[in-house]
Structure 1
């Protein structure tokens, strides 16, 4: 419990405890909120260019951790001059306000574009005061106070959004002394830096692994003679077989049962949403299963499951004993790999290649709705080296998997630490001394 609270205030039913030497301010006291242009000159698809004078932000460009420019679209200077509100100035904060709400980015000197405009699903927060501590406000706007505000203030069911008026009126408690804001921002930023470095290590390791996979899964180890096949050029000694041919039968659909609260002495219910983009089990949000007759749906070593419908079609998970007892759900299809023919890790690597995902793209859109059924998965063709060579390839790739898993666990710990620090530092439950480099609990 915080011992130096001086009072409480509330806005939108959000209770704000106010520590000593902190003050309550409205967002509109600190920032001017600016909409993007929504008039008749708003750009349409024919106005967008792959390169141009002004970067026109899409919601994909504004993420939870800052700007991302993996995809970009531009408008011409002529088009830009027809627009009114929504052009960024350096040190503006951008917040997504429609659809995906609450992602925050900062337009500082590190952003390599001079002319940028927001789209109609964003707001600009432009400082009204000269001595604002931007790093503090970036942390605060990414914290629980804003999450709770969004939860309560968003309107609309088809496309949820927050209004400029409601954001302007939001009250937040902040340290009165800029020195305390600076210290808090420095602590949280140091964890952010560690998170970014860990992300970079994971990304680089995955990049190196992909390059090695491309070499090993098409050229093998030590081969000099190659042949052309329906799946491309492979070593002469390799064969091409279907997924069904390297499995103990056809694909099996999962159990159609309701998810229930997870209990430690029961198997976990494996749903599509429990599998991450790397094909690993997500440890959080565990669910159990109400159905009693689930034994035939329990996963075993050598089982691989595939998502069969929706936007996750093609996603796969190779069962790992370390994940405990798992019962797979109805939107997944299981293949029991024949371990006398294939190394399960080798097949798991195959279904994480560009070749596989190109196949998924073609197969899943033929009917108009994304989806691949059991017979279609059965027909997927895989290269099959000798079992000894598969073992060697799987062993080489596992070195990178272990590195990625280790760094991912560290990344998750850092994020947990960051959330905990935000909760106590941005609320004043733990105070920083402005005259010493230490954190003390009140």
Structure 2
């Protein structure tokens, strides 16, 4: 299966080939594991993890050092891959006394074991480098009946996560721990090994496409930041080209060196109004029957409002809270969470409400997108950090927003700067759209392939070397 294949293409091929070769079985069988029932194709089996394990062990708590033997902690393990840049270190002499079971082998599954939202993330150990695991991480080593990549994708699936959190977890929310004893009892579907590998290869291909797309987005974002830095310090000529250094007369200013013809103004001089979203108990307005979104800090991205899992209020509540409404071309700024993160309100969110966000309306001398760009820039965030210095809980107040100093070129030049950056922003938006498609594809494939709803046993799917070498 190629990285470009879609779920529809996979399903279409499944239907066409099913007319030519009858599947082994069309029936799903149910197996009971405590309160859970697994429905799987007849030739699949299901076993408890404890029956097919070689080793299940939690790591050991190290005394960390500046260098030595790398130690895998929870910040190294995410669903999008390994993050070995977050390794910590154990003194090499101390590590000599640690047992072999605390050092993963290639093909082991390494699983985060504590914390709501953290517990359950898993990856397959990719090499034979000598690294230890700390006490917040669990190592799983199974027999040859179970492909570690198949198991890792099962753990990521909705069913796998539901089983982990319901059967294998001790403790209350925020203080939860993965129970090694209960992990032994977790049921695992077991297709024939070749089919496990085919399923894992399909999902691994999609993961690779996701990773490449994320890398592309990262490269584009770095390019955009470089372009913005140049434009916000050098400007752009009327011909649309970046001003050359030797063509610019500079002046020193409160925000650094800027072109001579630019002004430094306080933000409050450039806006017509400003307000704060609902701060005191915004949850009192949440109403599942409502139709008006309530924007929160998690809904804000630098490229606009993230269309996600909104909370809603009724139209009546919205009318009762006019000062927290946002309108087209307003700049909205995060107050708590990622203080200072800003974007411009697009027309589709005109008139919706907000909670714990700062709302400002640029006047005739300030382009809204230029304003958001400046607040998000290095110069803007440096001022925001200064306003937060000494605060126990980081947040950005409306008074501090009004006091921000902005280097302001003419409105025409602001527009040229915004338009120049927009081309890169459009590329990022396209890549993000493709990334979301891939993520939806992966979720659909995990649900269908790991349950046997869509079969791979009779499909011409190449088993990837990476998957085949790991069980």
TM-score by length of 2: 0.83
Deviation at 1:121, TM superposition (A): 1.0
Deviation at 1:236, TM superposition (A): 1.0
1:77 aligns with 2:92: yes
Deviation at 1:6, TM superposition (A): 2.5
Contact 2:170–2:176 (8 Å) recurs in 1: yes
TM-score by length of 1: 0.88
Kindly report which structure 2 residues correspond to 1:85-124, keeping only aligned pairs within 5 A, or say none: 85-99=101-115, 100-109=118-127, 114-124=129-139
Q: What residue is the counterpart of 1:273 in the other structure?
A: 298
Contact 2:326–2:354 (8 Å) recurs in 1: yes
CA offset digits 1:337-389 (Å, max 9, x no partner): 11x21111111111222333333333224232212221111111111111111
Change (3 A) 1:262 1:285: farther
1:65 aligns with 2:85: no
Contact 2:124–2:149 (8 Å) recurs in 1: no
Change (3 A) 1:184 1:150: same
For 1:361 and 1:156, locate their aligned partners in 2 and report how far apart those are by CA, in whole Å: 37
Q: CA RMSD in A?
A: 2.2
Q: What residue is the counterpart of 1:345 in the other structure?
A: 369
Contact 2:328–2:350 (8 Å) recurs in 1: no
Kindly report which structure 2 residues correspond to 1:190-339, keeping only aligned pairs within 5 A, or say none: 190-221=205-236, 222=243, 223-249=247-273, 251-255=274-278, 257=282, 258-261=285-288, 263=290, 266-276=291-301, 278=302, 280-290=304-314, 291=317, 292-309=319-336, 311-323=337-349, 325-329=351-355, 331-338=356-363
Deviation at 1:312, TM superposition (A): 2.8
Match of 1:30 among 15, 34, 52: 52
For 1:54 and 1:135, locate their aligned partners in 2 and report how far apart those are by CA, in whole Å: 26
1:126 aligns with 2:141: yes
For 1:207 and 1:300, locate their aligned partners in 2 and report how far apart those are by CA, in whole Å: 30
Match of 1:152 among 130, 151, 166: 166
Deviation at 1:10, TM superposition (A): 2.2
For 1:318 and 1:357, locate their aligned partners in 2 and report how far apart those are by CA, in whole Å: 17
Q: What residue is the counterpart of 1:421 in the other structure?
A: 445
Deviation at 1:60, TM superposition (A): 1.4
Q: Which runs of 5+ in 2 are unaligned?
A: 1-24, 237-242, 463-471
SS at match of 2:270: coil
Tell me the number of residue pairs that the alignment of Structure 1 and Structure 2 aligns: 416
1:142 aligns with 2:167: no
Q: Which runs of 5+ in 1 are unaligned?
A: none
SS at match of 1:261: coil
For 1:300 and 1:242, locate their aligned partners in 2 and report how far apart those are by CA, in whole Å: 22
Q: What residue is the counterpart of 2:403 in the other structure?
A: 379
Deviation at 1:308, TM superposition (A): 1.9
Q: What residue is the counterpart of 2:468 in the other structure?
A: none
